[in-house]
Chains A and B, each alone.
Chain A
Amino acid sequence: MIQSFTVLRGFLTHLIVRFFYILRLCILPCVTLLHITPGSSHGQTQEESNYTSGLSPFEQAELLRLIDLDIRNLSKIPIQGVLGYDQEYWRNPASVHVIRPEDITLNGYFNSVEALRGVPGMHVTRGLAYDNFASMRNFSGFSTQKFLGKIGGREVSQLMLGSANYSVDDYPIAVIDRIEVIRGPGASIWGTNAVNGVLNLVTKHSGDTQGDSFRIVMQDNGTFMGDYVHGGQVSEDSFYRVWARSQEYAEGTLDSGLPARDDGYLRKAGFRIDKELDSDLNFYLGGGFATRRLEHVLDLSNRLFYLENASNPIPLAFAQQLSTLPVAHPSYIDPATLPPVVSYSQNAALFWSTPAGLISYPSLPGGRISRYEYYGEMKNDSAHFIGKLEGITDADLEWSLTGFADHSDIYMGHLGFEWEQTQYDLSFDANRPVGDFHRLSFGLSAQRTELDVVTRVIEPFQVGFLKVPILDYDQAYTSFDRFNAYLQDSITLSDQLLLSMGAKFEENDLAGFGFQPGMRTSWMINESNVFWAGYSKAHRQPSLRERYTTLTPYKVWSPGGGGAWLNQSYPGDSTLDREEMDAYEIGWRLRPNKDLLFEFSTYRYDTKNAVRAASSNAYEAKNAEAYGGELSVDWRVSEIWRLRGGYSQARGKVEGIRVYDFPENTASLSSHFSYSDEITLVQNLFYAGKTDIPSDYNPITIPSHLRLDLGIVWEPKEGWEIGLFGRDLLEPYHVETMYPGVDVEPARVERTFLISITKDF
């Protein structure tokens, strides 16, 4: 059976990559033919063609989108838009993918992060049972995500790691309006940290979530998630909703077969109140909290070393083996030079005396050492409030004032590292027409972040005289301010040509004063084709981890002079400057008819001071270049069948040397086939090329993998969905990622089966 799966997997891998390669080379001639006769594809009758001859395929597709909006949301559609704001506008000069709630439920995804797997240019991996990690385009690295995350109007990135935890910040599907994935920097609109792109999760107005909704997802291994949302009306112009989520994580398995002990739970709840204060004057207040308790593993196998000679430390466990060899053996080590057991096990004798098996040691062929896994509590508590007042004046000035306060407390027990982050943010955004052909948008914002960082030395690491934690933080840096302002003009040069120019100015304690200009243009060549191009200078601020933490990943026993334990530390670099990226993008959007859309985009990034993990576990700034492209296809083959596919290539070089920490090729193919009015058959295929994850002790290569998900969704009556899904069906398990730097053994991503029951409002 397994062999059959392997053969099938190999075949499908070959087939899908061949398919996209051929598609890529053939696409232009094919679509040329298609678009020379727009509206004449796939069996449209002459009568149908005549009915819609006055509308372009883009206009027809927009009408289909508009008709899905209710009257309240229809009234929010601007007649004159700000270029770059309306992500679904077909002339938007950016590479955008929009995920709808049904894209999550119909595909059997637990949460919104999983749905990012189908977005070209994004790479989603699972490290442990409870987290999916998302990265975008090149150099996304792993924990440091080089894109901006906004969820429900809040910027959710943690300054400490420069990343967001989307599993914790996620919302119930029923309150999500859409998730906009904008690839590439939008410097003048989004500002700092939107280097590789932006992820913007937009929630619904409370008036659109009236009644009761729930969703239950149960996986065969015991993982469970339940969402409940209730919405009501207070008065004719006031609405509210409350929601709660409970999630239980089943324990996974590490690549070695050891238990990952990553089971735990997540509980969260939230609310939102919307009130129409007057015509075109609206207010909402939202908030929520989340608490998550899990365990997290740290591989301590290679943390104690013996300094055989000045340049060659070897694992202590291996040195102990060598000390048992005959004295005449060239590798023999005198047992008297080894550290006394009490020197490293006085506080954790039980830990060091009970290894969890053996592992090979790559630099010593044939050598095997004891494996030590340390498990610590992973705590994540957070709460936030957000308020937004927005209106439109009689002078057509559209404005909004948004403020939020956010507090999070994250404890990484396996490292003994805890930080509390409190963030306050106030922003004002506005836009208004100037003359007939300009729309000016502008804004101001201020943000303060305060940190309280506590470090502890974990028990097994209480070694030697100087007890140093694995991660230590420079307490001189605990408060950070950020101010910015932006100005952008959207100019209608002609009915075919749109242009936006603008810049964001920012004063930031972490990145200094910066100026991020951007220019984008969109050219509607004809009714079926839109070209766009953009240039942006984008900045990314270094994370606090990169700047102000010192990593002490291992200890070395120096046998000379009676012997002593030395800490091997790699301090952060407080002089790391902001990353500055010149980004050039070209895109092409082709819609031969309302049912078929091709989107193609290419990019080239030149980055100065790209922060990279140096080979010694510290960080350093290097110049980097990246280029690549994405192709996506959305084809409603017929009334009952929809196909969506995507392919992306990404190449990265750091100072001229190719790097592979992001897969060079990714592809996806999704099919939704309505067997009847009630039954939909779902198929998803994902391919990700290999990635190399750097590490001092244990650099690993994650092989390319192909994933097949199949599902069947039954809608017994309107508003109800019952889905059965099989995920990762091609193999019993594979590995997708691991935490670099601190060496957490990767966990298996296993074949799973799940059932989901969804009741809409």
Chain B
Amino acid sequence: MAFFTSRFKLKLRTRRSFVLLAGLSLLLGLGTSSLQAQTVKASEEERRTARVQATYLTHLVNFTRWEKSHLPAEGESPKIIVVGNESRGFVDSLEFLIRQNALRIEGELVEFHYFENVRKKEAGEMFKNKGAQLIYVLPNSSFTPREINDLTESAVVFGEGREFVTEKGGDVSFVTVRNRVKLVISEKYFRRTSPKLSSKLVNLKSVVEIIPSSGPQGSIGHRGPNFHSVDSPQPK
């Protein structure tokens, strides 16, 4: 136990180790910053937005129910497909979460696909021939929700910006308001039989804005908060 009790050694060791650690830390930091040049990426805020969106989306899959007719044939996996170009880490984040959590739709492991704009035709063929359960339309994609609905009826269509739901016919969109990521959800997503979102989300007034759909039963839930999305200003 002399290891503990030698004050001289302790003092010497303490000084030596702190100087060593502080010095090496600094050298390591300086050295490695040049070793690993940071690739040009979107700003940290954009990347964080993308991570939160990907997390929301993963949660919403668990709140959604698909009828058997909207699921792939036996032996095939349900599909989540992202279309468009991006560089802020959304696709990577979503793919990571899907794999890490072994995400399932109606008990089946999800298959993830990503099609950049140059592969639009390939994506369209997949929608038409194999169907999809969730399609995320990135802002610069040339796909529109209506175009997707014409190709497949089984998919929930996600996008960004309020007008994606209010004007373009999408089911769900992410908006960034008041420094937070929130959801704009079409009422039809709650009303239809499949794919159908759990009505539990109706109560989250601060999180969800529900866009009423004109139908015989009128609107459900609240009209939603006064979201004035920075990326889709509310018309006055």
Interface residues, chain A, with chain B CB atoms under 8 Å away = 10, 13-14, 17-18, 21, 24-25, 28, 32, 35-36, 48, 51-55, 59-60, 62-64, 66-67, 69-72, 74-80, 91, 236-237, 276, 278-280, 282, 392-394, 396, 398, 433, 492, 495-496, 523, 525-527, 529, 531, 586, 588, 600, 602, 627, 629, 649, 651, 664-665, 689, 704
> How far, in angstroms, from A433 to B176 measured CA to CA in the complex?
14
Interchain CB contact under 8 A, A433 and B32: no
The answer to whether A79 touches B181 (Cβ under 8 A) is: yes
With A28-B24, A55-B89, A236-B202 as given contacts, are A60 and B35 in contact (CB-CB < 8 Å)? Answer: no
Of B43, B202, B206, the residue contacting A495 (CB under 8 A) is: B43
Docked Cα-Cα span, A13 to B179, in Å, equals 50
- In the A-B complex, list the 3 residue pairs whose CB atoms are closest, starting with the nearest: A279-B225, A54-B92, A392-B178
Known interface pairs A36-B36, A72-B206, A79-B49; 18 further A-B residue pairs with C-beta atoms within 8 A, sorted by A's residue number: A17-B3, A51-B96, A59-B51, A63-B93, A66-B51, A67-B55, A74-B181, A75-B180, A75-B182, A237-B203, A237-B205, A278-B225, A279-B205, A279-B227, A495-B38, A525-B29, A629-B18, A649-B18
B1 in the interface (beta carbon within 8 A)? yes
Complex contact A51–B43 (CB within 8 A): no
Give every chain A residue within 8 A of B6 (Cβ-Cβ): none
Whether A523 and B41, one on each chain, are in contact in the complex, defined by CB atoms closer than 8 angstroms, is: no
Quote the shortest CB–CB distance from A115 to chain B (angstroms).
27
Q: Is the CB of A72 within 8 A of B38?
A: no
CB contact under 8 A between A25 and B20, given known A63-B100, A586-B25? yes
With an 8 A cutoff between CB atoms, is B4 at the interface? Answer: yes
Contacts of B24 in A (CB 8 A): 28
Known A-B contacts A51-B96, A280-B178, A525-B32; the reply to A77 vs B52 at CB < 8 A is yes
Task: Please state if A71 and B59 are interface contacts (CB–CB under 8 Å).
Answer: yes
Contacts of B17 in A (CB 8 A): 24-25, 649
CB < 8 Å A-B pair total: 175
Give A580 to B31 CA distance when docked, in angstroms: 37
Say yes or no: A14 contacts B1, CB within 8 Å. Answer: yes
Q: How far is the CB of A92 from chain B (nearest CB, A)?
A: 13
A75 to B206, alpha carbons, bound, how many Å?
8
List, in ascending order, chain B residues with CB within 8 A of A527's CB. 36, 38
Nearest CB of A to B39, in Å: 9
Q: Which of B14, B33, B56 contacts A649 (CB 8 A)?
A: B14
Report B's interface with A, CB cutoff 8 A: 1, 3-4, 10, 13-14, 17-18, 20-22, 24-25, 28-29, 32-33, 35-36, 38, 41, 43-45, 47-49, 51-52, 54-56, 58-59, 89, 91-93, 95-97, 99-101, 176, 178-182, 201-207, 224-228
Give chain A nearest CB distance to B207 CB in angstroms.
4
Instruction: Supply 9 A–B pairs (Cβ within 8 Å), ascending by A.
Output: A18-B3, A25-B17, A54-B92, A55-B96, A63-B100, A76-B180, A279-B205, A495-B38, A529-B29
Contact A66 B52 (CB under 8 A): yes
Q: Find chain A residues with CB under 8 A from B224 CB.
A: 279
Give A235's nearest chain B residue, CB to CB.
B203
* Closest residue on chain B to residue A65 by CB atoms: B55
Residues of A within 8 A of B95 (CB): 51-52
Min CB distance A36 to B, Å, is: 7
CB-based contact A67/B58 at 8 Å: yes
Assess the A74–B33 pair: CB atoms within 8 A. no
**Which residues from B are CB-within-8-Å of A529?**
28-29, 32
How many Å lie between the Cα of A91 and that of B47 in the bound state?
Answer: 14
CA separation between A562 and B201, bound complex, in Å?
87
With a CB–CB cut-off of 8 A, which chain B residues contact A74? 52, 55-56, 59, 181, 207
The reply to whether A71 and B182 form a contact with Cβ atoms under 8 Å apart is no
How far is it, in angstroms, between the C-alpha of A276 and the C-alpha of B204 when the chains are bound? Answer: 9
CB distance from B53 to the nearest CB of A (A): 10
Known: A28-B24, A75-B204, A79-B49. A398 touches B32 (CB 8 A): no
Determine the distance from Cα of A66 to Cα of B207 in the docked complex, in whole angstroms: 16
Which residues of the partner chain B approach A35 to less than 8 Å between Cβ atoms? 32
Query: Is the CB–CB distance between A67 and B44 below 8 Å?
Result: no
Among residues of A, the one whose C-beta sits closest to the C-beta of B33 is A525
Which residues of chain B come closer than 8 Å to A629, judged between CB atoms?
Answer: 18, 21
B201 close to A71 (CB less than 8 A): yes
**What separation, in Å, do the CA atoms of A588 and B36 have in the docked complex?**
17
With A55-B93, A64-B100, A76-B180: A627-B18 Cβ-Cβ less than 8 Å: yes
Q: Which of A75, A80, A523 has the most CB of B within 10 A?
A: A75
How far, in whole Å, are A655 and B7 apart by their CA atoms in the complex? 19
Closest to A586 in B: B22
Q: Taking A74-B55, A80-B45 as contacts, is the C-beta distance between A396 and B178 under 8 angstroms?
A: yes
Q: In the assembly, what is the distance between CA of A10 and CA of B52, in Å?
A: 49
Contacts A28-B21, A63-B93, A66-B51; A71 near B3 (Cβ below 8 A): no
Chain B, residue nearest A21 (CB): B13
Instruction: Kindly list chain B residues whose C-beta atoms are within 8 Å of the C-beta of A649.
Output: 14, 17-18
- Give which listed residue, A32, A276, A704, contacts B206 with CB less than 8 A: A276
Our pick among A32, A398, A664 for the contact of B179 (Cβ within 8 Å) is A398
Contacts of A10 in B (CB 8 A): 1
Looking at the assembled complex, report how far the CB atom of A390 sits from the nearest CB atom of chain B, in whole angstroms: 11
Contact in complex: B206, A52 (CB < 8 Å): no
B101 CB to closest chain A CB (Å) equals 6
CB of B179 within 8 A of CB of A62, answer no
Q: In the bound complex, what is the Cα–Cα distance between A236 and B202 (angstroms)?
A: 9
Chain A residues within 8 Å of B205, by CB: 236-237, 276, 278-279
Of A75, A394, A588, the residue contacting B207 (CB under 8 A) is A75
Residues of B within 8 Å of A80, CB to CB, are 45, 179
Whether the pair A69, B47 counts as a contact (CB closer than 8 A) is: no
Task: Assess A279 versus B206: contact at CB under 8 Å? Given A63-B93, A74-B56, A588-B25.
Answer: yes
A651 contacts which chain B residues (CB < 8 A)?
A: 14
Closest chain B CB from A755 CB (angstroms): 33
Q: What CA separation (Å) do A160 and B226 show in the bound complex?
A: 48
Residue of A nearest to B38 (CB): A526
Least CB distance from A73 to B in Å reads: 10
Task: Find the residue from A71, A392, A523, A704 having the highest chain B CB count within 10 A.
Answer: A71
Would you call A67 and B101 a contact (CB within 8 A)?
yes
Nearest-neighbor residue (CB-CB) of A32 within chain B: B28
> In the docked arrangement, what's the CA distance between A170 and B64, Å?
39
A343 to chain B, nearest CB (A): 48
Closest residue of chain B to A89, judged by CB? Answer: B48
Report how far A236 CA is from B51 CA in the complex, Å: 28
Cβ contacts under 8 Å, B227 to chain A: 279
Residue of B nearest to A525 (CB): B33
- Nearest CB of chain A from residue B222's CB, rounded to whole Å: 8
In the bound assembly, the distance between CA atoms of A48 and B225 in angstroms comes to 41
Closest to B87 in A: A54
- B91 surroundings in chain A (CB, below 8 A): 54
Across the interface, name the chain B residue whose C-beta is closest to A523.
B29
Q: Give min CB distance, B62 to chain A, whole Å.
A: 10
Residue from the set B21, B55, B93, B179 with the largest chain A CB neighbour count within 10 Å: B179
Residues in B with CB closer than 8 Å to A36 are 32, 35-36
B54 cross-chain contacts in A, Cβ below 8 A: 63
Chain B residue numbers with a CB within 8 Å of A665 are 4
Report the minimum CB–CB distance from A277 to chain B (whole Å).
9
Structural contact, B97 and A63, CB atoms closer than 8 A: yes
Q: How far is the CA of A525 from the CA of B33 in the complex (A)?
A: 5
Complex contacts, A64 vs chain B, CB 8 Å: 100
Q: Are A17 and B4 in contact (CB under 8 A)?
A: yes
Say whether B22 contacts A602, CB under 8 Å: yes
Max count, chain B CB within 10 A of own CB: residue among A17, A64, A525: A525
A29 to chain B minimum Cβ distance, whole angstroms, is 9
Which residues of B have CB within 8 Å of A393? 178
